[in-house]
Chains A and B, each alone.
Chain A
Amino acid sequence: MVTSPDIFLQTLLNGFLIGAVYGVAAIGLSLVWGVLGLVNLSHGALLIAAAYITFLLYVGLGAPPLVSAPLAFLIGAAAGLLFYKGFGKRLTSTDPSYSLLFFFGLALFLTNTILNLLGPDVRGIPWLIESAALGPVSVSVARLISFGLVGVSFITLYLFINKTFYGKAIRAVVANRLGAVTAGIDVQWVFAVCTSIGFGITFFSGSLVALVNPFTPSSGDGYLMYAFATVVLGGVGSIVGAFLAGILLGIVESFVGVLFTQGVSPAVAFITLVLVILFRYGRR
């Protein structure tokens, strides 16, 4: 089946487009983990919260996702800043297991608030779902647009982190927190900015997820798993790594879906993740 070049190309392209969204979706997790050392278990719930914001904007005001995605970024950035001001200091100073528990509580809170307010139905945004032909393969316009947004946001973020003075401070904190303090970097400020950007990019990718895939209040768990796999595969704190790993996972998922069933693909993602963890971080 996959031996046919058309289907092969089609599967590859689908995986690539979905994977790019996975990659950007994992950047928020990677930044907060790498800089603050917090493993955000509520990442998937935040993603889905943003998907619902996009959905409500589309249904209520008719705002196309092209407009609501930047809006979601701003909402997320504001939420991240408030979150850091409220809980950040406490969380970064306690034992990691308790911050895990905190984020688990937050995920439970968010998921069930959405569930109670908006119900358990599967939602989606029927915006530009007609497909366009690209040579031998066809692809939905919404996915192409989401890929464009992914590209723009990724390049902006890449330039910010790698080419500006502020980005240098962030990279310094990822590399060595104590060293950064010694060099006169205001670590608290870097933490606040990173939480803000991290939540912002998570919300942004949440609205892209709403554009390309249907979702329910509990579908955040699956995205959380993918984001974990992506971050660990790409290296904690590295945004380029996360992006490339996301694309790889998307392609793997797409091929597994064609060869076996879609149901096994989370298991495949996880087996990949476990193998990567063991070979990269295991001590012999």
Chain B
Amino acid sequence: MAVGRGRYRLGLYSAAAVMAVSLLPMFTGETASMAYFWTLLQFLSLVLSLNLITGFTGYINFGHIAYYGYGAYTVAYLTTITQQNPYLFIPAAAIVSAIIALLVGKPLLSVRGPYFTIATLGLGEASRTIIVNLPFFNYSEGLPIARFFKYDAFSSYISMWLVAVGLFAVTLFIKRSRYGVMLETIREDEDLAETMGINTRRTKLAAYVLSSSTAGLIGGLTAITYVYAHPGFFSISINVAVIASLLLGGGGTLLGPVVGATSYFIIADTLLTRFPYLHLIIFGTIIMGISLLLPRGLVYLVYKTPKLRGLFSDA
């Protein structure tokens, strides 16, 4: 069995391949493929950021999208009142999301399993309801920011690319660190983790805050690219798509999010263009099939093949 860095070879190679391919549109400068790959990168980043909590600790988080929305609204609101370049407020988006995650996460993470899932389910919806009733967020119309800066496709593309690369690095770092092992112990058996002296509460909270603040970062960048923050940022369907692709790939790994996000994105996009009316029916069927036939994600196929298993024990 390969040890050390070799254990993540497959994950690293595939991540490097996706990142390299997504650099290509930068050189051709073709708008259509840049838009396509930007959306892929954004989706991949969301899956990677959700992986930090759901993949590593097994807590299914339906409230992830709320932080994405907070990030978008933070950037748009600060841009509107100061009339500065919105890229200045990207750190603020991450900080606001992190603070909210710290406050919300503390009580939220004291419940487990389906209770956690259901409690988070309302976070996005409740946030959306509150925001559309607030006058300084312009009710349900949202905050357009196009007039405050000159939109540039390249800078928005490169910043999303950097976020994705950064999230890969963070995932790899956690995976290789003692902290990652603590998170995985919580996923496998939380009571055992507690017995072994792991401060489960603090460990989970740190993962939740990290995951949520990166979601805020992605939301902020998305608001800049859309030049608009609107209540649609809190849509539960994005959250579910992110969870579905994480589970499709296999959570808590480096390879899983890459495989899951790219295959989900390509399948969903192809279905949408080929079958504009029936795509969600077909998609529902595919999701049901995957959850019945591949109950540990596509990455599980690697483990089932003895030859590959020896090479990439921990993709």
A263 CA to B231 CA, complexed, in Å: 14
Chain A 81-104 per-residue mask, 1 if CB under 8 angstroms from chain B, else 0: 000000100110011111111101
A155 CA to B118 CA, complexed, in Å: 29
A124 CA to B167 CA, complexed, in Å: 48
Which partner residue on chain A sits nearest B110 by CB separation? A282
A277 and B115 contact, Cβ closer than 8 Å, known pairs A102-B292, A108-B283, A112-B281: yes
Q: Is B156 interfacial (CB 8 A cutoff)?
A: no
Q: Is B288 interfacial (CB 8 A cutoff)?
A: yes
A158 CA to B256 CA, complexed, in Å: 46
Q: Is A105 interfacial (CB 8 A cutoff)?
A: yes
- Selected from A39, A96, A104, A273, the residue in CB contact (under 8 A) with B287 is A104
**Is A232 a contact partner of B291 (Cβ separation < 8 A)?**
no
Q: Is A271 interfacial (CB 8 A cutoff)?
A: yes
Q: Is A116 interfacial (CB 8 A cutoff)?
A: yes
A102 and B296 contact, Cβ closer than 8 Å, known pairs A266-B125, A278-B110, A284-B110: no
Which partner residue on chain A sits nearest B285 by CB separation? A109
Q: Is A106 interfacial (CB 8 A cutoff)?
A: yes
Q: Is A283 interfacial (CB 8 A cutoff)?
A: yes
A97 and B125 contact, Cβ closer than 8 Å, known pairs A102-B291, A278-B108: no
Chain A residues near B296: list those with CB within 8 A.
95
Chain B residues near A94: list those with CB within 8 A.
291-292, 295
Q: Shortest CB–CB separation between residue B278 and chain A, in angstroms?
A: 7
Q: Shortest CB–CB separation between residue A282 and chain B, in angstroms?
A: 4
Q: Is A165 interfacial (CB 8 A cutoff)?
A: no
**Is A270 a contact partner of B292 (Cβ separation < 8 A)?**
no
A205 CA to B51 CA, complexed, in Å: 38
Q: How large is the interface on A (under 10, 10 to 19, 20 to 34, 35 or more residues)?
A: 35 or more
Chain B 96-138 per-residue mask, 1 if CB under 8 angstroms from chain A, else 0: 0000000000011011011101110110011001101100000
Chain B 270-301 per-residue mask, 1 if CB under 8 angstroms from chain A, else 0: 00000001101101111110111001100000
Q: Is B6 interfacial (CB 8 A cutoff)?
A: no
Q: Shortest CB–CB separation between residue A136 and chain B, in angstroms?
A: 33
**Is B281 a contact partner of A109 (Cβ separation < 8 A)?**
yes
A110 CA to B129 CA, complexed, in Å: 26
- Number of CB contacts from chain A to chain B under 8 A: 117
B interface majority secondary structure: helix
Q: Is B255 interfacial (CB 8 A cutoff)?
A: no
Chain A residues near B130: list those with CB within 8 A.
267
A106 CA to B287 CA, complexed, in Å: 8
A98 and B291 contact, Cβ closer than 8 Å, known pairs A39-B114, A266-B129, A271-B122: yes
A111 CA to B237 CA, complexed, in Å: 13
**Is B111 a contact partner of A95 (Cβ separation < 8 A)?**
no
**Is B288 a contact partner of A105 (Cβ separation < 8 A)?**
yes
**B residues contacting the other copy or chain, number (CB 8 A):** 40
**Is B110 a contact partner of A112 (Cβ separation < 8 A)?**
no
- Residues in A129-158 with C-beta less than 8 Å from chain B: none
Chain B residues near A113: list those with CB within 8 A.
281
**Is B110 a contact partner of A101 (Cβ separation < 8 A)?**
no
- Selected from B108, B118, B284, B286, the residue in CB contact (under 8 A) with A228 is B118
**Is B60 a contact partner of A100 (Cβ separation < 8 A)?**
yes
A246 CA to B110 CA, complexed, in Å: 25
A109 CA to B281 CA, complexed, in Å: 5
Of the listed residues B119, B130, B283, the one surrounded by the most CB atoms of chain A closer than 10 A to its CB is B119
Q: Shortest CB–CB separation between residue B105 and chain A, in angstroms?
A: 12
**Is B118 a contact partner of A108 (Cβ separation < 8 A)?**
no
Q: Is B206 interfacial (CB 8 A cutoff)?
A: no
**Is B122 a contact partner of A282 (Cβ separation < 8 A)?**
no
**Lowest 6 A-B CB distances belong to which pairs?**
A105-B287, A270-B122, A109-B284, A108-B284, A105-B288, A282-B110
Question: Could you write out 30 A-B pairs with CB less than 8 Å apart?
Answer: A95-B295, A97-B247, A98-B295, A100-B117, A102-B287, A102-B288, A105-B283, A105-B286, A106-B288, A108-B283, A109-B281, A112-B280, A112-B281, A112-B284, A116-B277, A225-B125, A228-B118, A232-B118, A263-B129, A264-B133, A266-B125, A267-B130, A271-B126, A273-B118, A277-B111, A278-B107, A278-B111, A282-B107, A282-B110, A284-B110
Interface residues of A (CB under 8 A from B): 33, 39, 87, 90-91, 94-102, 104-113, 116, 221, 225, 228, 232, 263-264, 266-267, 270-271, 273-274, 277-278, 281-284
Interface residues of B (CB under 8 A from A): 58, 60, 107-108, 110-111, 113-115, 117-119, 121-122, 125-126, 129-130, 132-133, 236, 240, 243-244, 247, 277-278, 280-281, 283-288, 290-292, 295-296
Having A94-B292, A225-B125, one finds 13 other A-B pairs with CB under 8 Å, namely A97-B60, A101-B243, A101-B244, A101-B290, A225-B122, A228-B121, A232-B115, A232-B118, A263-B133, A273-B119, A277-B111, A277-B119, A278-B108
